[in-house]
Homo-oligomer: A and B are copies of this chain.
Amino acid sequence: MATTVVSKVVSPVQATLLQRFLAARQATEDACRTLTAEDQMVQSCSEASPTKWHQAHTSWFFETFVLTPFLRGYQPFHPDFHWLFNSYYRSLGNEIPEKKLRASFSRPSLETIVGFRAHVNRHVEELLQQDNVPDDALRRIVLGIQHEQQHLELLLTDIKHAFFTNPLHPIYREAQQTADAEATPSRWVEFEGGIQQIGYPLNTADPLDFCFDNETPQHRVYLQPYALENRLVTCGEYLAFMNDNAYTRAELWLSEGLDTIESEGWESPLYWQRCTDDSTGWRIFTLGGWRGLSTMLATPVCHVSLFEADAYARWRGCRLPTEAEWEYAANEAAMETTGLLEQGGLHPVAATSDGLTQMLGYTWEWTASAYTGYPGYAPLPGALGEYNGKFMSSQMVLRGGSVATPASHIRTAYRNFFTPGTRWQFSGIRLARAFSHNE
């Protein structure tokens, strides 16, 4: 793929789109490079999917929503892939393989899936070299690229869990293991609030402009004065919370959270494990293998649930920000892009800059906002409408992306969402509190 030559002059929009398409596809394949066919079979928790499935499902998306309707004479790669790699678009039919069976997918083989990817790439390229591809097709390719990037992020979080679960604890990618710098000192960044706009200002005339349907419509909200902590909560700060017996103090927890930590036996974030060879008594599993907690105290805590983020905030006498507070603040601050996938570390590093920092990248930030539709929200028509809207119950919003999020995928308006007990994502904690001029 990397050597593909764009052989025909097409519109600049189509040329740009093809370049982005090929780059997104390549990024997925790059992430798979060190994984064996066996690694790509593993599904180690119910939230996760095998790497091979991610590779196939993202290709299925282009085949189903782009190639079949828009490329004249397109022949699907395999007659069964139509239903085999449909994950959840229930209006497309009943023959949905149970998610739990994904781990049984020894066939089709990885080799076949690699062939499927090439087939889809070749035909999307063919389509984009035609004249006057309809806007609707272009928009769907844009959506497919975003979908590909979402699954790239999931692929990385899933393989992290798979390797953690594997008794030999393989390393995904060797990382430099330097002790972290001190983190920027904590301070509060204040906002006056009032009536403000949130939501993405989509330019509907530009087929390459994009946001998910759940980021619209842009709308006004009323914000009380508030303050955000300048950086993410660190592992060292979180360790103090643990050492204050927080996991056994009922008054710190949401009721559902207390039930969860008891039934799951949680006493630390996911991927933390007691050990004897670090001065803190803890080590942390990363995509670069085990690291002693003592070398990571200044780095942002991650892989915590909403319950833990909320309890931590209560312990500090603070709260979590609402998503509107978060988005308005992110829009106000000068955005860094140092903590995203392309910087390559695959684990968040300590905050070092001044001002409001670590808003994009590093870790997803749990908010106090449940995931519901914005005023006037309308899902996409047809099967694509199942993308976001149908998940609007019992989930909480997270903002800002993480070290596993591609830079071209994230926006200040971006709304991620998970159930409050979710921990396998790179999810961390940003504190908020009320702000009054009298303080």
Contacts and interface: CB of A to CB of B under 8 A. Distances in A.
Contacts of A219: 224
Contacts of A162: 104, 106
Given A36-B109, A222-B220, A372-B369, A42 B103 contact: yes
A194 to B, nearest CB: 10
Nearest to A52: B38
B390 A253 contact: yes
Contact of A254 (B250, B257, B306, B390): B390
A18 interface: no
Contacts of A390: 253-255, 258
Nearest to A258: B90
A195 B224 CA distance: 12
Interface in A102-127: 103-110
Contact of A37 (B38, B310, B396): B38
Contacts of A256: 391, 393-394
B220 A107 contact: no
Contact of A101 (B41, B90, B107, B165): B165
Contacts of A23: none
Contacts of A80: 167-168
A90 B250 contact: yes
A179 interface: no
Query: For the complex formed by this chain, how many copies does it contain in all?
Result: 4
A166 interface: yes
A335 interface: no
B37 A36 contact: yes
Contacts of A293: none
Contact of A368 (B90, B372, B419): B372
A110 B254 CA distance: 34
Contacts of A394: 256, 394, 419-420
Among A109, A162, A372, chain B packs the most CB atoms within 10 A around the CB of A372
Interface string A220-234: 111010000000000
Given A38-B41, A368-B373, A370-B370, A107 B250 contact: no
A185 interface: no
Contacts of A97: 167
Nearest to A165: B104
Contacts of A258: 90, 390
Contacts of A370: 369-372
Contact of A106 (B42, B254, B371, B391): B42
* Those 8 A-B pairs whose CB atoms lie nearest each other, nearest first: A370-B370, A90-B250, A38-B106, A222-B222, A39-B106, A255-B390, A224-B375, A41-B41
14 contacts: A38-B109, A80-B167, A80-B168, A88-B255, A101-B167, A107-B168, A221-B222, A254-B392, A306-B393, A368-B372, A369-B370, A393-B420, A394-B394, A394-B420
